[in-house]
Amino acid sequence: MAEMPYTGGPLERIGQLGALSRRGLLAGSLGLGLSAALAGCGGGSSPSPGGAGATGKPKRGGVLHAAIPEEPFPNAYDMARVGSSTGTERVAYLAYNGLVNVDTSGKIVGELAQTIENPTPTRYIFDLRQDVTFHDGTKLDAKAVKANFDRIQDPKTKSPRRRALIESVNVLGPYQLEIRLTQPYAAFLGQLRRSKMPIQSPTAVEKYAASDPFKASVGTGGYKFVSYRKGDGVQLERFDNYFGGTNYFDQIAIKIIPSQPTAVQALMAGEMDFIRIAPESVAAIKGNPQVRLDAADDTFVDYLSFNQKVAPFDKLEVRQAFSQAIDRAGLVSAIYSGLAEPGHGPLASGFGSYYEALDDVAAQKYDVAAAKASLQAGGYDTGSTIRFDTFTDAPFDKEADVIQQALVAIGVKSELRKADFTTFATLFYDQRNYTIGNSQWNGSVDPDEVLTNLYGPEDGTTSNSTSAVDPQMTKLIAAGRTEMDPAKRADIYHEAGRRAAEQAHYAFICYPKVLAGLSAKVQGYKSRIGGGWPIDECWFA
């Protein structure tokens, strides 16, 4: 593909861990789409009882007790081989750094990269910090970062984090790295953030990756992994040589608690300091002065997926019928306590100008009569019983209950199977061994991440659970990647979103807020988009 004309000068250089500003992005024609998306995302927390921000000077000490509902994906926290999982990435976030990160205002900022230049649309130069060491004592330099990229790009690694558009990664000096792309990619820098491209110690990888993935999980972050017991939890302790200096706790102890009521009870009893909150628990959290609720806007989208390799979901009319059966506003009210917006397309309102309301699209509009007509037009056998897979994490189990009852109203019978998330993910994402199932895409900073993962090829690098092949969508995704003008990108994503809604490969359900329950003594927490879990920057009052 011919290189696009370059209309701007080099990116302004960012200072010591300073922000790569929107103005800098615009000046260099680099992340125009990313910048526009982040401008609408926010990523900050909305006010909550007791105040969610810092109320005093940070101090060191103490053990933060946190809970997650699921096991990490296979390969523990050896992130080059771990697929996209909210729980796994949030825990890994505490132990790693990326070349860049997303700050609490939604901007891309340098992390391991001290300065970044973009002299041409397909060439990036990163000057690395020179004061960074891995937890095993080895030095971070350009060769170490290149080794990480070489590993994920190697087909033998079978890494779900492989970046198809990377042409080469080159060491220009001890602390200077160059990445060349095969084509301009507006979302590229965001793909290098900590939660998506964490940098591991090549020494630890070489020594342990084949035999013990957990021991290979060695980063440069504020906390280092100490132990992991399957079914129990993960222990991390402060890394005293952390360059960031924001690691205030002595330890972070993470407990695996699959049951939301059990996790909430532990939070209320003072046994947990931080948990993910399901909407059903909001009332209890708000009513207790010892804890507080943090509710933040993000770019999440809940959806019902149809396996189009399984008849009759290869028929548009049948997919439309199932989608039209869902009362999205009613579901948001019943399940999310109003802490979500009804959804009708793949891109949440948090994407700012890239978002377009699609509640006018018939396939995504609640209409029981239309759903029955679509079902008949698709030749659906109402005497059959379909398999419906979900997982036990709240609120997805209850969301599935509501959808199952909605299908009854149009004459569809289903067998609802509720598994733990790891089992569900294997069936749903890896094997595509399901008929219909509900899940969520989350932690995105650019529309390209959502659309590529929901509609990309079945090559192990995307989460296309539907197995849909849509040439027009493929063209739109490609166009959005290479377009650097934010207004033109918005037009592309409006067309792509409408295409997705009309074809009903998924029934888009809602755009939920990110909810967290915190002990009142936890200070400094502020949610951020992009899969981050910044409890590594918190402290106790």
Instruction: Please indicate, yes or no, if residue 6 is contained in any of the structural domains.
Output: no
Residue 8 has pLDDT above 70, yes or no: no
Closest CA to 322 of 203, 409, 263, 440: 409
Instruction: Please indicate, yes or no, if residue 145 is contained in any of the structural domains.
Output: no
Residue type, 469: V
**Helix extents (H) in 409-459:** 421-425, 447-455
Instruction: Please indicate, yes or no, if residue 521 is contained in any of the structural domains.
Output: no
Show the domain range for 451.
Answer: 301-512
Instruction: Please indicate, yes or no, if residue 417 is contained in any of the structural domains.
Output: yes
Residue 534 to residue 292: CA distance in whole angstroms: 17
pLDDT at residue 462, as a whole number: 58
Let me know: does 111 contact 98? Beta carbons within 8 Å: yes
Kindly indicate the confidence band of residue 55, based on its pLDDT and cuts at 50, 70 and 90.
Answer: low
| pLDDT tens figures, 435-459 | 999 999 887 899 999 999 898 765 4
Instruction: Please indicate, yes or no, if residue 281 is contained in any of the structural domains.
Output: no
Q: What is the mean pLDDT of residues 493-516?
A: 96
Residue 472 to residue 459: CA distance in whole angstroms: 19
Q: What CATH number does the domain containing 437 carry?
A: 3.10.105.10
More reliable by pLDDT, 8 or 72 = 72
Q: Which residues contact 402 (CB under 8 A, 6 or more apart)?
A: 330, 331, 334, 335
> How many CA atoms are closer than 13 Å to the CA of 383, on its beta-carbon side?
0
* Rg of the Cα atoms in the chain: 23
Residue 396 to residue 417: CA distance in whole angstroms: 12
Domain count within the chain: 1
pLDDT at residue 380, as a whole number: 95
Instruction: Please indicate, yes or no, if residue 517 is contained in any of the structural domains.
Output: no
Closest CA to 188 of 29, 347, 40: 29
In the DSSP assignment, the letter for residue 13 is P
| pLDDT tens figures, 350-409 | 898 999 999 999 999 999 999 999 999 999 999 999 999 999 988 999 999 999 999 999
Instruction: Please indicate, yes or no, if residue 337 is contained in any of the structural domains.
Output: yes
| pLDDT tens figures, 289-302 | 999 999 998 999 99
Residue 140 has pLDDT above 80, yes or no: yes
Closest CA to 173 of 109, 126, 120: 126
> pTM value?
0.82
Let me know: does 255 contact 276? Beta carbons within 8 Å: no
Instruction: Please indicate, yes or no, if residue 420 is contained in any of the structural domains.
Output: yes
Residue 536 to residue 371: CA distance in whole angstroms: 47
| pLDDT tens figures, 394-432 | 899 999 999 999 999 999 999 999 999 889 988 998 889
